[in-house]
Amino acid sequence: MVIGLGPGPARQVTPEASQLLAEATDIIGYGPYVDRVPPSAARRHASDNRVELDRARQALTLAADGARVAVVSGGDPGVFAMAAAVFEAVESGEEAWRELDILVVPGVTAVLAAAARVGAPLGHDFCVLSLSDNLKPWSLIEKRLSAAVAGDFVIAFYNPASKARPEQIGKAFAQLRREAGERVVVLAKAVGRPDEEIVYTSLASVEPGDVDMRTLVLIGSSQTRLIEREEREPWVYTPRRAEG
Of residues 128-167, those binding its own copies (CB under 8 A): 128-130, 135-137, 139-140, 143-144, 146-148, 150-153
Q: Which stretch binds its own copies (CB under 8 A): 7-15, 30-38, 178-186, 208-216?
A: 7-15
Which segments within the chain are labelled E, that is strand?
Answer: 2-4, 26-30, 43-47, 69-73, 104-105, 119-120, 126-130, 154-158, 184-189, 197-202, 215-219, 225-229, 232-237
Q: Distance between CA 71 and CA 143 in Å, rounded?
A: 32
Q: Which of residues 162-221 bind its own copies (CB under 8 A)?
A: none
- The verdict on 8 binding its own copies (CB under 8 A) reads no
Give me the least distance between CB of 154 and its own copies, in Å please: 9
Alpha-carbon distance of 243 to 234, in angstroms, equals 25
| CB of 244 vs its own copies, minimal distance in Å | 4
**Residue 222 touches its own copies, criterion: CB under 8 A:** no
26 lines the binding site for its own copies (CB under 8 A): no
Q: Which is nearer to its own copies, 115 or 185 (CB)?
A: 115
Sign of the Cα pseudo-torsion (140, 142, 143, 148, in order): positive
User: Considering only residues 68-107, where is the footprint of its own copies by CB under 8 A?
Assistant: 76-80, 83-88, 90-91, 98-99, 102, 104-107
Cα separation, 8 vs 127, whole angstroms:
22
The C-alpha atoms of residue 83 and residue 47 are separated, in whole angstroms, by 16
Number of residues that bind its own copies (CB under 8 A): 79
